[in-house]
Structure 1
């Protein structure tokens, strides 16, 4: 899967000279949490609702609503935006985007074209939805978790067992454990879970969990 298929396309943008109170209104009106900042079509910053909250007076302030709005009206986006922006190319995979967000502890980032133009925004919600789709969690499948050793041919062997029983695997994901072994998570339409479990265990594969989700 690619970022271009999961991002919010053609996002609303603002300029660095836009007043903070105007941006705050736009974000609230359209329910946005992040906005790219552009100049001459190129990305120069990124603004989030947390940046606006950071410069807003405390709820305990004695300032009136007029005074608060007046204060924000004096600030420009350039004064509070993040200038060292982490972005991802539109041709990147969703895994690359997820890794960037994870390593940099951010909840979203702009997506740019090969010439630097902002073409989208990708967020943690988009990544989360991708995970749900990849795992087929809305399709009411049976989930089987196996613990296996790291050796060549394991996936082929397991797929053969499922195929011999007439079961088509919808998704298969592996995850390395701290002890060097792997967990393999398989999702499929399985009518007789006990039968599949028995066949797997007869081949020496340890079934550690089964459940139907969705």
Structure 2
């Protein structure tokens, strides 16, 4: 899966000359935590809610209403925006985007094309949606988890066993646990017991939450 196929396109890019006061109202209205700043179709920076709040004149300054209004009329996003924004291309694999967000502790990434034009945005919700979709959660069925050592032909063999029982695979995923590979398969069956039995008969170690209880209690 590629970033460009899952990115959000309904974001609200702002001009660097937009007033901070207007940006604050926009962020509050749409419950946004960040706005991307674009000039000549190119991404040049961003502002967060805390940046805007910190820049606004305090009512405790002793300034009168006219002075505050004057300051607000001069306070543009250009003066308070950050320019150290991390971007990603639409061709990037979604898991690479997730790794970058985790590495840099980012809540989101701006998506730009080869000309540095802002074309989209991804956030943590996008990553979570992809995970849920990849694991086939919304399609129902049931999941089976088994542990195997890394060796070729496992998925082919397991798919054959499932097919022989008349079921279809909805999704597959693999995860590392200690020195083993955990394979998670979702099938179109409400009761996976016959598939689990076939896997065990063929030497696969089928596991469930009870097998790991000691690790979280």
TM range (shorter): 0.7 to 0.9
Tell me how far 1:49 sits from its aligned partner: 2.4
Over residues 20-62 of structure 1, what are the superposed CA-to-partner deviations in whole Å (9 max), with x where a residue is unaligned?
111111122233332211122211102222433454689xx85
TM-score when normalising by structure 1: 0.84
Measured in 1, the distance between the counterparts of 2:117 and 2:5 equals: 17
Measured in 2, the distance between the counterparts of 1:121 and 1:54 equals: 25
State the secondary structure of the residue aligned to 1:185.
strand
Measured in 1, the distance between the counterparts of 2:127 and 2:8 equals: 12
Contact 1:147 1:184 in 2 (8 A): yes
Measured in 1, the distance between the counterparts of 2:200 and 2:50 equals: 51
Query: Is the aligned partner of 1:203 residue 2:205?
Result: no
Measured in 1, the distance between the counterparts of 2:72 and 2:182 equals: 52
* Equivalence for 2:48: 48
* Equivalent runs, 1:148-159 vs 2, <5 Å: 148-159=148-159
Cα gap change, 1:80 to 1:181, in 2 (>3 Å): same
Unaligned ranges ≥5, structure 2: 210-217
Cα gap change, 1:102 to 1:72, in 2 (>3 Å): farther
Measured in 2, the distance between the counterparts of 1:38 and 1:117 equals: 9
Contact 2:36 2:46 in 1 (8 A): yes
TM-score when normalising by structure 2: 0.83
Q: Name the stretch that deviates more: 121-130 or 187-196.
A: 187-196
Tell me how far 1:120 sits from its aligned partner: 1.1
Unaligned ranges ≥5, structure 1: none
The size of the alignment, in residue pairs, is 207
Q: Name the stretch that deviates more: 70-79 or 141-150.
A: 70-79
Cα gap change, 1:72 to 1:197, in 2 (>3 Å): farther
Tell me how far 1:8 sits from its aligned partner: 1.7
Tell me how far 1:91 sits from its aligned partner: 2.4
Whose helix proportion is higher, 1 or 2?
2
Tell me how far 1:63 sits from its aligned partner: 6.2
